[in-house]
Structure 1
Amino acid sequence: MLFYKTYLHQDKNKPWVTFVHGAGGSSSIWFSQIRYFKESFNLLFVDLRGHGKSRKTHPKNSYNFTNITDEVVEVIEHLNIKHTHLIGISLGSVVIMDMAHRHASIVTSLVMGGAIIHLNLRAQVLMKLGVFCKHIVPYLWLYNFFAYVIMPKKNHKDSRHFFVEEAKKMNQKEFIKWFSLVSSVNGLLSFFRETKIKIPVLYIMGSEDYMFLPSVKRIVKNHQNTSLTILPNCGHVVNIEASALFNKEVSSFISEV
C-alpha cells in the first residue's frame, strides 16, 4: 500500500480532504496547506508510487493511470473514508480526475491546481524529445530542463528548486516509467475533456502558467459545475508560489460545496 499520512480533526464528522501531488514531487509539497486546512477538515496525504516514502513499495501491476488511481483509492477505502474532497497539483490533477470518473461515489469535489488538461504542440514535442533522450541523458538533467520550461520565471525559482530536490529522491528507473506514462497521457486527457461529470470542479491556475492555462480556460467555458480562479503573478505550482491565496480560495470553494 502507498505511504500516507493523516491529520484528524477533533470533530471526526468534519469533511475529509485528500491531497495528491504531481510527478517528481511527494506529499511534502503540501507543507503550506497542512496548518491551514487541519483547522477545519480531516486531511489525507499520499505519496504516489515511486515517490517520497512510497518509493520503497514495489507494485506488481503496470504503470498506467488506472492502477495509480486505484492505489490512492485503496488507501481511502483502507481508512474507511466514505466521501472526500480531492485536491491535486499538476499531474496529480490527472489522477483525481480519473478518480472522479471511475470512483465518483466517494468524490465530493475536485480542486485542480496547475491542472494538466491538454498537452499543446510544444508540450508534445518536448515530451517526444524527452522520450528519445531518457535512456541517454541523466534523468535529473532531463527533469531540470522540463522544470525550467514549465516554470521559467525568476519568481518560479523556489518551485523549481523544490521539485528538483524531490526528484532527486527518485531513482532513474522509476523516473523513466513515469516519464513514459506522462508522454502517453493525451488520450486520457481527451476523454476527460469530452466527458462531463456532475461533481463540482475548481481549477486554480497561475496567471503565468502559459503552458496549461489556455486549455483550462477553454474547458471551463464548455463544462458545467466548473469554475476557474487565476492567481496573479504566479506560475504552475500555485500551492507553493501563492500558498496563502491558494488556501483561502480552495477552502472557500470546499466549504461552499
Structure 2
Amino acid sequence: MLHYRTYEISPTTPWVTFIHGAGGSSSVWYKQIREFRKQHNVLLIDLRGHGQSAGGMWKKGDTFMDISKEVIEVLDEVGIKDTHVIGMSLGTIVAQTMADNFPERVNSLILGGAIIRFDIRTKLLLLGGRVVKRFVPYMLLYKLFAYIIMPRKQHEESRMAFVNEAKKVYQKEFIKWFSLTKLINPYLTRLQASTTAIPTLFLMGEEDYLFIPPIEEVVRKNKGFEFVKIEKSGHVCNIDQPEMFNKLAIDYIAKIEQRKAAIQLG
C-alpha cells in the first residue's frame, strides 16, 4: 500500500486528499498543511515510487487507472467515504482519473498547475525526453524540464523543491512515469468530457505558459468548471503563492460543502 499521513479533527469533518506530481512527494504540500488542518481532515499520499512509498510496483500495461486505484485503497484503509481532492501537475491526472472512475468518492477537484492537454511545444519536449530517457541521467532530464516549465527567478523555490524530491526517485521509476505521457492527449480529452459532473476548480499560476491555454479552452466549453489565475506564480502555484492558493481552495471547498448541506436538507 502507498505511504500516507493523516491529520484528523473528527469523523464529521470534511476530508481533503492531496496528490503530488511526478518527481515530488507529499512533502511538497508543506505550505498547505497548517491552514487546511484547522478546518479539515487531511490525507497526504506518496504515489508509487515517490517519498516513502515503495518502488517496483509497476506491471506491464499499468495506467493512470491503476495508480488511482492505489489512492482509493488508501481511502478504504483510512475509512474515508468521500473526499475533496487537490492535485498538482501530473497529480491532477490521477485526481481526474479518480473522479472519472470513482465519482461517488470525490466531492470536488481542485487542480493546481493542471495538465489537461499537451500543446505542440510540450509534445516536442516530451518526445525528445522519451528518445533519450534511457541514455541520459534522469536528473539531468528532470532539471531541464523544471527550468523549461518554471524558468523565472520567482519560481526558484518551487523548482528546487521538486528537483530535490526527484533526487529520491530511482531512474527506472522515472522512466515508468515518463512513459505514461505517451498517449495522454486522447485520454485527457475523454476525462474532461466525463468529469463535468464533479465540481472543479482550476488554480493556475499566471506564468504557467505551457499549460494555461488548454485550460482556458476547456473552461470556455464547460461552464461548470471554475478557473482562477494566481498572480506572480508559475506552474507550482501552491509553493509560489501559498496564501492565495490556500484561500482560494479553502473557500471553494466551503462553497461545495454548503451546497451539499443544502441538498441534504432538501
TM-score bucket of the superposed structures, by smaller chain: over 0.9
Question: Secondary structure of the residue that 2:127 maps to in structure 1?
Answer: helix
Report sequence identity in percent. Answer: 45
Which residue type is aligned with residue 142 of structure 1? L
1:57: how far off? 6.2
**Aligned twin of 1:156:** 155
Q: Is the 8 A contact 1:63 1:178 kept in 2?
A: no
**Aligned twin of 2:179:** 180
1:83: how far off? 1.0
Which residue type is aligned with residue 3 of structure 1? H
Deviations 1:155-184 (A, max 9, x none): 111111111100000111111111111233
Structure 1: distance between partners of 2:195 and 2:17: 22
What number of residue pairs does the alignment pair up?
Answer: 256
**Aligned twin of 1:194:** 193
**Aligned twin of 1:8:** 8
Question: Secondary structure of the residue that 2:6 maps to in structure 1?
Answer: strand
Segment of structure 1 superposing worse, 241-250 or 49-58: 49-58
**Aligned twin of 2:129:** 130
Which residue type is aligned with residue 53 of structure 1? Q
Provide the TM-score with structure 2 as the length reference: 0.93
Structure 1: distance between partners of 2:56 and 2:41: 25
Deviations 1:67-101 (A, max 9, x none): 00100011001111111000000011100101111
**Aligned twin of 1:55:** 54
Structure 2: distance between partners of 1:19 and 1:197: 20
Q: Does 1:115 align with 2:114?
A: yes
1:62: how far off? 4.4
Structure 2: distance between partners of 1:61 and 1:239: 33
1:227: how far off? 0.5
Provide the TM-score with structure 1 as the length reference: 0.96
Structure 2: distance between partners of 1:55 and 1:160: 24
Deviations 1:7-30 (A, max 9, x none): 011x32110000000000000000
Q: Which runs of 5+ in 1 are unaligned?
A: none
Structure 2: distance between partners of 1:102 and 1:193: 13
1:225: how far off? 2.1
**Aligned twin of 1:209:** 208
Question: Secondary structure of the residue that 1:217 maps to in structure 2?
Answer: helix
CA spacing shift, 1:108–1:209, aligned 2, 3 Å: same
Which residue type is aligned with residue 139 of structure 2? L
State the Cα RMSD in Å. 1.3
1:194: how far off? 3.3
Q: Which runs of 5+ in 2 are unaligned?
A: 257-266
CA spacing shift, 1:254–1:62, aligned 2, 3 Å: same
1:58: how far off? 3.4
- Matched ranges for 1:1-257 at <5 A: 1-9=1-9, 11-56=10-55, 58=57, 60=59, 62-257=61-256
Structure 2: distance between partners of 1:4 and 1:55: 12
Structure 2: distance between partners of 1:175 and 1:57: 11
